[in-house]
Chain A
Amino acid sequence: MKTSGKVWKFGDDIDTDLIIPARYLNTSDPEELAKHCMEDADPKFADKVSESDIIVAENNFGCGSSREHAPIAIKAAGISCVIAKSFARIFYRNAFNMGLPILECNETDQLNTGDSLSVDFDTGMITHQQTGNTYKTKPIPVFMQELIQSGGLMNHIRKKIQNNQA
């Protein structure tokens, strides 16, 4: 699996209230949530972002609330992948469960808004399309890869239920 897109760069501790403010949590409709994605960090983000773009951040991306509306909003806004030095743990789980690819990379301080990246999820290699530089990411634990291969947590559960009924 591969993706490529333009970088939108954010800093440390991007919290779930920045990703999707609680005032919009009276719905779980992905399209509604996408309109307000990253709004309090960059009010025009939803208008500027294009399909398959990539969010790049520093440490502790997604800290705060357990709201799954955060990865839903990011995914529905067209973002194909989030790359950060580290992720808050509930966000990390939620992203895998939702099928939003996320990668941990220690060198995100070398990436900036407007850069074009290509990402190979199988090798975990990120390539900067303008400079040709490559960046390695931390391997995804085998168990999480299995979850992704099953098509997320609920597909995994669904298969289990079907097997039990068979």
Chain B
Amino acid sequence: MGMTLTEKILAVHAGTDQVKPGDLINARVDIALGNDITAPIAIEEFKKSGALTVFDKDRVILVPDHFVPNKDIKSAMQAKILRDFAKEQGLTYFFDAGEMGVEHALLPEKGLVLPGDLVIGADSHTCTYGGLGAFATGVGSTDLAAAMVTGEVWLKVPESIKIVFSGTLRPWVEGKDLILYTIGKIGVDGALYMAMEFTGPIIETLPMAGRLTIANMAIEAGAKNGIISPDTITRDYVEQRAVRDYTFFSSDPDAGYAQVLEFNVNDIEPQVAFPHLPENTRGISEVGQIIIDQVVIGSCTNGRIEDLRTAAKIIKGHAVAKGTRLIVIPATPYVYRTALKEGLFDIFLDAGAVISPPTCGPCLGGHMGVLAKGEKAVATTNRNFVGRMGHPESEVYLASPAVAAASAVLGLIGGPDQL
């Protein structure tokens, strides 16, 4: 039997010709990633292991992005652990201060994660890089520590689910809506332990930003990884950025899938995930009247320049509704500078938005936009669990940049067509 894209990447990294779902493998990692929340534990474990140096200083990447710029003394101490370790180990890729961006937006942009790679990161949204045709999965700090020492990780080869999108996209429907719709259909454990392979005519023409958004949220269906077959869109994205060679893999025609789901996108309108799970999705026409206090546009899911352009296009000439706060967070310094040059900041500032430096910040209730008791927010982020953005009695509604921008102007949840 043939192999899926995921199986091929795992086989190559395990040094074998063939793997099948359920196989336990020890695989070589191309990149091991940590952030300011997860890396301090990994660094402590690394030191306890007796290892003196990381397996490869070009392949261990640290990005303090969650609670930085340091939000309090404890966070400052955690970020300092990364700073000291990066210096001591001479890590080539340590992104701090003005070079720092939200890790999963930053690494693809810098050409540090590439098609055919096996990437592990101590952050659940590491699965983002599947948008490039890499196998990428989130692990805990101890797994990261082990990989920092050995350059290897043990993995169970996952079964794959194939998700095929065809039809014609409706206006304002983008990657975020497709993945929210999928999670709404299969549930937050619908792909538990599995690989989600996204394919079909819609994916084949979807720009890289949308592909990264889709792969980013595979974890919200419980998946081990999300993946998209690399093609000319991938090549156009990576060839100017890649710091290493890369390999395109694709699934064999006779590869085995545990399940195949086919969605006709003609039926999909812009989606909103209601509290408190990403599976609680509704089409924008079924939302009803929900007045909001805050809108966040940013994160590893939707903080790229394409997302800010969409938001600016909708907001241009409008003002943020009275009583609503719009927070725009460019995910990386490149996104920040490009938005500034293109005049997007003028549009946001004229509308009454606040612009934050790159950070994960409010996505996980860290800083830069924490919600009070009873407050409601629309966010382009990826999770709407209880207390995710602040007080346990606050609410987060997940949506695309287009819906978030329109909602900021309306002061309630709505789509661009309502402006």
Q: Which residue in chain B gives the minimum CB-CB distance to A156?
A: B146
Given contacts A23-B387, A25-B366, A66-B122, 12 further A-B contacts (CB under 8 A): A21-B392, A23-B365, A23-B390, A41-B386, A66-B138, A66-B140, A67-B140, A68-B41, A68-B122, A90-B140, A154-B142, A154-B146
Q: Which residue in chain A gives the minimum CB-CB distance to B120?
A: A66
Q: Is the CB of B385 within 8 A of A18?
A: yes
Q: Is the CB of A161 within 8 A of B387?
A: no
CA distance A7 to B38 in the complex (A): 30
Q: Is the CB of A158 within 8 A of B37?
A: no
6 sampled A-B residue pairs with Cβ under 8 A:
A17-B364, A67-B38, A141-B24, A141-B156, A154-B146, A158-B49
With A66-B122, A94-B142 as contacts: A26 and B78 at CB distance below 8 Å: yes
- Residue A93 at the chain B interface, CB threshold 8 Å: yes
Residues on B with C-beta less than 8 A from A17 are: 364-365, 383, 385-388
Q: Is the CB of A161 within 8 A of B149?
A: yes
A44-57 vs B: 1/0 string, CB under 8 Å? 00000000000000
Residues on B with C-beta less than 8 A from A27 are: 74, 78
Q: Is the CB of A26 within 8 A of B38?
A: no
User: A60 touches which one: B139, B192, B365 (CB < 8 A)?
Assistant: B192
B17-50 vs A: 1/0 string, CB under 8 Å? 0000000100000000000011011001100111
- Residue B188 at the chain A interface, CB threshold 8 Å: yes
Residues on A with C-beta less than 8 A from B383 are: 15, 17, 64
B36-74 vs A: 1/0 string, CB under 8 Å? 011011001100111100000000000000110001101
Residues on B with C-beta less than 8 A from A40 are: 386-387, 392
How far does the Cβ of B243 sit from chain A's closest Cβ, in whole Å?
A: 25
Interface residues of B in 143-181 (CB under 8 A from A): 143, 145-146, 149-150, 154, 156
Residues on B with C-beta less than 8 A from A97 are: 140, 142-143
Interface residues of B in 351-401 (CB under 8 A from A): 364-366, 370, 383, 385-388, 390, 392
With A17-B388, A97-B140 as contacts: A160 and B150 at CB distance below 8 Å: yes
- Residue A63 at the chain B interface, CB threshold 8 Å: yes
Residues on A with C-beta less than 8 A from B124 are: 64-66, 90
Q: Is the CB of B140 within 8 A of A94?
A: yes
With A27-B74, A154-B49 as contacts: A89 and B222 at CB distance below 8 Å: yes
Q: Is the CB of B388 within 8 A of A26?
A: no
- Residue A13 at the chain B interface, CB threshold 8 Å: yes
How far does the Cβ of B168 sit from chain A's closest Cβ, in whole Å?
A: 33
Q: Is the CB of B139 within 8 A of A64?
A: no
Q: Is the CB of B392 within 8 A of A90?
A: no
B108-148 vs A: 1/0 string, CB under 8 Å? 00000000000001111010000000000011111101100
How far does the Cβ of B300 sit from chain A's closest Cβ, in whole Å?
A: 12
- Residue B277 at the chain A interface, CB threshold 8 Å: yes
CA distance A152 to B141 in the complex (A): 13
- Residue A4 at the chain B interface, CB threshold 8 Å: no
Residues on A with C-beta less than 8 A from B277 are: 13
Q: Which residue in chain A gives the minimum CB-CB distance to B150?
A: A157
- Residue B85 at the chain A interface, CB threshold 8 Å: no
User: A93 touches which one: B66, B143, B219 (CB < 8 A)?
Assistant: B143
CA distance A67 to B44 in the complex (A): 15
Interface residues of A in 113-162 (CB under 8 A from B): 141, 143, 152-154, 156-158, 160-162
How far does the Cβ of A15 sit from chain B's closest Cβ, in whole Å?
A: 5
CA distance A154 to B364 in the complex (A): 29
CA distance A137 to B194 in the complex (A): 22
Q: Which residue in chain A gives the minimum CB-CB distance to B124?
A: A66
Residues on A with C-beta less than 8 A from B370 are: 23
A27-44 vs B: 1/0 string, CB under 8 Å? 110000000000111000
Residues on A with C-beta less than 8 A from B48 are: 154, 158
Q: Is the CB of B386 within 8 A of A88?
A: no
With A21-B365, A22-B366 as contacts: A60 and B387 at CB distance below 8 Å: no
Residues on B with C-beta less than 8 A from A158 are: 48-50
How far does the Cβ of B413 sit from chain A's closest Cβ, in whole Å?
A: 22
Q: Is the CB of B139 within 8 A of A66?
A: yes
Interface residues of A in 66-107 (CB under 8 A from B): 66-69, 71-72, 86, 88-90, 93-94, 97-98
- Residue B193 at the chain A interface, CB threshold 8 Å: yes
Residues on B with C-beta less than 8 A from A72 are: 41
Q: Is the CB of B37 within 8 A of A18?
A: no
Q: Is the CB of A25 within 8 A of B140?
A: no
How far does the Cβ of B263 sit from chain A's closest Cβ, in whole Å?
A: 23
